[in-house]
Amino acid sequence: MLRLYDYLPSGNGYKVRLLLTQLAIPFERIDLDILKGETRTAEFLQKNPNGRIPVLQLDSGGFLAESDAILYYLAEGTPFVPSDRLDRARVLQWMFFEQYNHEPNIATVRFWMHSEMTDERRAMLAGKRKNGYAALDVMERHLAGRRFFVGESYSIADIALYAYTHVADEGGFDLGTYPVIREWLERVRAQPKHIPITQG
Amino acid sequence: MLRLYDYLPSGNGYKVRLLLTQLAIPFERIDLDILKGETRTAEFLQKNPNGRIPVLQLDSGGFLAESDAILYYLAEGTPFVPSDRLDRARVLQWMFFEQYNHEPNIATVRFWMHSEMTDERRAMLAGKRKNGYAALDVMERHLAGRRFFVGESYSIADIALYAYTHVADEGGFDLGTYPVIREWLERVRAQPKHIPITQG
């Protein structure tokens, strides 16, 4: 059985949990406490040299890291990845946007608020806020007139961007002026076999 | 003919130039000066709502953004992307690592040094330095005993990570204590049809 090294509050872990559930693939979840350094042990660094969850352990014993790479691996050949070559690349475009422009701002501030707001972090807050809202602006513009991010059907690009957008308020981001994003969140939530981030 | 919206000093643009050259695909290059805001005009935001180069304009007229998504689009079905499903996902794993852990630190400091070192940027320098060296540490550990990042053959994961690693010194990163990375840089440079970052 697939084994997912995970941390329940993590949106990156949630992406994989959500897709596995929607694909009806059974998996075992191993919860690691990232606040206690459980992903930086010598043993875990053998699984992912970058010391982060999620990591997927395959039936072969091999390991795969990076949430969006895991999504792609699991979804290839299913309706969650477009069959058209250009649309498939556009799914990757939005997943790279998610990891470069969205996650380091919106997810990071949420993590700081859940864990500890140090002086060093507080000094970076205004920049993170500005860049996070800039990412939301890009999403709002792109989704106007569209049902989903790519090719008008639900894909792993939507899963990747849903994970931290739907809990952006936990990092103090206000979606009040983003009606298009809020409608898209509802469409994602209405997909078959949807689960909340709190479900392990 | 493919059209690449580009900025010559950009490692993200260079990735695409390098792969197109190695695939022997002809392309036209449109140079935009990002320091003059040429990627934030209303016209360019129609091409990429995120206002960044590189952007690839296809023969169909469509646009594709995010350097690593462009690499994947161009390389799918060629020897630059592994045919094995897990290895293909591992290529993506290293490209997401590049965009999340490597580029925002190593490329960003180089860009600051090329453009302007403001007080705000100077305050973030120690953090960027620490995280950039942590990314280099991960690469050094992973490459030990390996010729390339995935499956022992040159792939777009190597292109993605080569782009800013080989000019890390321009951002003040010293590769002196990274012998494994330096040997890998030589192997990448020795690939057929390699071009330098300065070549448009």
The reply to whether B103 touches chain A by the CB within 8 Å rule is yes
CA-CA-CA-CA dihedral for B27, B31, B34, B40, to nearest 10 = -70
Q: For B124-139, how does the pLDDT look when each residue is reduced to its tens digit (9 = 90+)?
A: 999 999 999 999 999 9
In the sheet where B2-6 sits, what is the strand order? Answer: B27-31, B2-6, B55-57, B63-65
Please identify, among B51, B75, B99, the residue that sits at the C-terminal boundary of a domain.
B75
Mean pLDDT of A49-74: 97
CB contact under 8 A, B90 and A69: yes
Tell how strand B2-6 and strand B27-31 pair up: parallel
Q: For B45-78, how does the pLDDT look when each residue is reduced to its tens digit (9 = 90+)?
A: 999 999 999 999 999 999 999 999 999 999 999 9
Question: Which has the closest alpha carbon to B71: B98, B47, B49, B44?
Answer: B98
Task: Report the alpha-carbon distance of residue A118 to residue A128 in Å, rounded.
Answer: 14
CB contact under 8 A, A100 and B99: yes
How confident is residue A28, by pLDDT bands cut at 50, 70 and 90? Answer: very high
CB neighbours (10 Å) of residue A169? Answer: 12
Distance from CA of B127 to the nearest CA of A (A): 10
Please identify, among B75, B96, B118, the residue that sits at the C-terminal boundary of a domain.
B75
B42 and B134 assigned to the same domain: no
- Residues of B in Cβ contact (< 8 Å) with A112: none
A90 and A148 assigned to the same domain: yes
- Which pLDDT does position B200 carry in this prediction? 84
What residues 109-148 of chain B have any CB closer than 8 A to a CB of chain A?
Answer: 120, 123-124, 127, 138, 141-142
Total domains in the fold of chain B: 2
CB contact under 8 A, A141 and B49: yes
Whether pLDDT at A200 is above 90: no
Q: For B77-118, how does the pLDDT look when each residue is reduced to its tens digit (9 = 90+)?
A: 999 999 999 999 999 999 999 999 999 999 999 999 999 999
Residue found under tokens 């556009």: A90
In-domain check, residue A197: no
Residue A69 is nearest to which of B64, B96, B124, comparing CB atoms? B96
CB contact under 8 A, B97 and A138: no
- Residues of A in Cβ contact (< 8 Å) with B127: 120
A147 and A51 assigned to the same domain: no
A127 and A165 assigned to the same domain: yes
Task: Report the alpha-carbon distance of residue A68 to residue B189 in Å, rounded.
Answer: 29
Query: CATH number for the domain including A106?
Result: 1.20.1050.10
- Which pLDDT does position A181 carry in this prediction? 98
Q: Residues in chain A, how many?
A: 200
- Residues of A in Cβ contact (< 8 Å) with B67: 96
Interface test with B, best of A99, A130, A138 (most B CBs within 10 A): A99
**Domain coverage including residue A39:** 2-75
Asked if A193 contacts A163 with a C-beta cutoff of 8 angstroms, the reply is: no
CB contact under 8 A, B90 and A138: no
Residue found under tokens 């890390």: B168
In-domain check, residue A196: no
A179 and A119 assigned to the same domain: yes
In-domain check, residue A80: no
Question: Which has the closest alpha carbon to B140: B104, B99, B183, B109?
Answer: B183
B171 and B152 assigned to the same domain: yes
Q: For B5-39, how does the pLDDT look when each residue is reduced to its tens digit (9 = 90+)?
A: 999 999 999 999 999 999 999 999 999 999 999 99
Mean pLDDT of A86-112: 97
3-state SS class at B29? strand
B172 and B112 assigned to the same domain: yes
Please identify, among A75, A98, A124, the residue that sits at the C-terminal boundary of a domain.
A75
ipTM of the complex: 0.97
In-domain check, residue B34: yes
Percentage of residues in chain A having pLDDT higher than 90: 98
Q: For B136-170, how does the pLDDT look when each residue is reduced to its tens digit (9 = 90+)?
A: 999 999 999 999 999 999 999 999 999 999 999 99
B139 and B178 assigned to the same domain: yes
Question: Which has the closest alpha carbon to A98: A141, A51, A139, A128?
Answer: A139
Query: CATH number for the domain including A57?
Result: 3.40.30.10
In-domain check, residue B197: no
B108 and B138 assigned to the same domain: yes
Mean pLDDT of A169-198: 98
